[in-house]
């Protein structure tokens, strides 16, 4: 199953290397709720420090589209009702 979702974000900080963006829901039960913080690293986009600071200035509002793929974890039927940490799959 693939889910695509739109959220809004606001650039909270940008030091020229990393930008932190606070994300806010805009649909359904998430509408108006703070969802979390995401980081964008300058080096992954090939920008100079100056370009990165200009592209993502603090306070800038953004529309963000996320795509999530959901698929089952290979487990025995006895483990299906347990959290991954209980089955030793997550540290």
More confident residue, 25 or 86: 25
Number of domains present in the structure of the chain: 1
**DSSP character at residue 56:** S
Query: pLDDT tens digits for 26-78?
Result: 989 999 999 999 999 998 888 999 999 999 999 999 999 989 999 888 766 66
Q: Which residues pair with 8 in a beta bridge?
A: 24, 63
Q: Let me know if residue 91 belongs to a domain.
A: no
Quick check: 91 pLDDT over 60?
A: no
- Comparing CA positions, the residue from 66, 57, 51 lying closest to residue 3 is 66
Show the domain range for 61.
Answer: 2-86
pLDDT of residue 46: 85
pLDDT at 78: 61
Reduced to 3 states (helix: H, G, I; strand: E, B; else coil), residue 28 is helix
> pTM (2 decimals)?
0.69
Q: Quick check: is 27 in a domain?
A: yes
């Amino acid at each position: 199953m693939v889910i695509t979702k739109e959220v809004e974000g606001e650039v909270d900080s940008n030091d020229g290397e990393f930008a932190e963006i606070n994300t806010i829901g805009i649909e359904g039960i998430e509408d108006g709720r703070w969802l979390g913080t995401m980081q964008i690293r300058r080096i992954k986009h090939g920008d100079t420090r100056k370009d990165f600071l200009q592209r993502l200035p603090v306070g800038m509002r953004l529309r963000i589209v996320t795509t999530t793929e959901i698929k089952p974890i290979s487990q025995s039927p006895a483990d299906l009702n347990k959290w991954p940490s209980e089955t030793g799959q997550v540290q």
